[in-house]
Amino acid sequence: MGKEYSFFLGCIMPNRYPAIESTSRFVLKELGFEIKEMDGASCCPAPGVFRSFNRFDWAVAGARNLAIGERNQTDILTACSGCFGTLFGVNHLLRHDPEMKKAVNAKLEKLGYQVTNEREVKHIAQVLGFDVGPRGIAEKIKRKANLKVAVHYGCHFLRPFNEKQIDDPESPTILEDYLEALGVECIDYENKYACCGAGGAVRAGDNESSMKMLGEKMAAVTNSEAEAILNICPFCHLQFDTGQKTLNERYGTNFNIPIVNISQVTAFCLGMDDVGLKYNVIAPDFKLEAAPLE
């Protein structure tokens, strides 16, 4: 390994769930990746919100962040599916639309940047699931996690498929294969591939609808054997974690499912004891349980 990445932090990970950031950094270091900071990086900006208001400005702000990674002379890595949606999306758009790229660079000049789109944008789940892979991680872990989870893929990691081409969004296996190597059992549940309800500016713009979509998903998980929801996106993490509290307050439900990010469970298996689950709003007492390596 030894590959270098510019680590794009985004907003929700560093500013709401910093434990996802600290565990991600720990995991990347343990696996031999070099991390460069993205000095001056802004909000990605969010693909459902800002792209809806002004798609061109969204592309400019996204390209500005890409340019910071390019200045570091590395590929760009994100731990958030929303940031992945924007950064991968803008990179893809500008690679395929030279006129748009020209216009974006013209505006970027005012901000003091230029973009070439010669670097790749990767999601941490893709790096763990494919580049490191189940066999690679099996060689590195110090212990397994005794845990049954409902895997939540979210949306922008795999969709739109014609752009991402990572795994089949209708029946992916990348996360299950990886988690199996950590000893984590993935439980099938209804609506497994459904959205968490947060994206597309819906959580901010129409919270009630957002919560109803979440409620359907939470009911399905609660009715399954899963002990936790395993996610790969801080925004999904936030929606599941704080959203359960909102649902319980608003509708009198008793949802209480711990939320675990892929970096947190990976860090645990690599030897980190406190992976920051105590900072979750829901089930802060939940602790991961170790299982010996076979």
Partner 1 sequence: MDECMMSHIDFNKSPEVYDPGKKDERIITALKDAGFEPNACMQCGMCTASCLSGRWTSMRTRQIMWRAATGDPSVLEDNDIWLCTTCYACYDRCPRDLKVTDAIIELRNVASERGLIKDAHRKTVDLVHKYGHAVPINDKIRAIRKELGLEEVPPTIFVHKDEIKRLAENLFLLKPKKESGGE
Per CB under 8 A, residues contacting partner 1 are 9, 11-12, 14-16, 18-19, 21-22, 25, 37-43, 45-55, 57, 60-61, 64, 85, 107, 110-112, 155-156, 159-162, 169-170, 194-195, 197-202, 204-206, 209-210, 212-213, 216, 276, 279
Q: How many residues does the chain have?
A: 294
Please state the closest distance from residue 178 (CB atom) to partner 1, in A.
22
User: E strand or H helix at 266, and its extent?
Assistant: helix 262-269
Whose Cβ is closer to partner 1: residue 85's or residue 183's?
A: 85
| Residue 134: burial class (beta carbons within 10 Å; 0-12, 13-18, 19+) | middle
Please state the closest distance from residue 147 (CB atom) to partner 1, in A.
22
The answer to whether 210 and 200 have CB atoms below 8 angstroms apart is no
Whose Cβ is closer to partner 1: residue 36's or residue 148's?
A: 36
Planar angle of CA 100, 68, 7, nearest 5 degrees: 120
Residue 139 dihedral angles phi and psi, to the nearest 5°: -75, -25
The helix/strand/coil state of 282 is coil
Please state the closest distance from residue 47 (CB atom) to partner 1, in A.
7
The answer to whether 228 and 257 have CB atoms below 8 angstroms apart is yes
Whose Cβ is closer to partner 1: residue 7's or residue 138's?
A: 7
Residue 199 dihedral angles phi and psi, to the nearest 5°: -75, 180
Please state the closest distance from residue 193 (CB atom) to partner 1, in A.
8
Whose Cβ is closer to partner 1: residue 187's or residue 194's?
A: 194
Whose Cβ is closer to partner 1: residue 98's or residue 292's?
A: 98
Please state the closest distance from residue 291 (CB atom) to partner 1, in A.
25
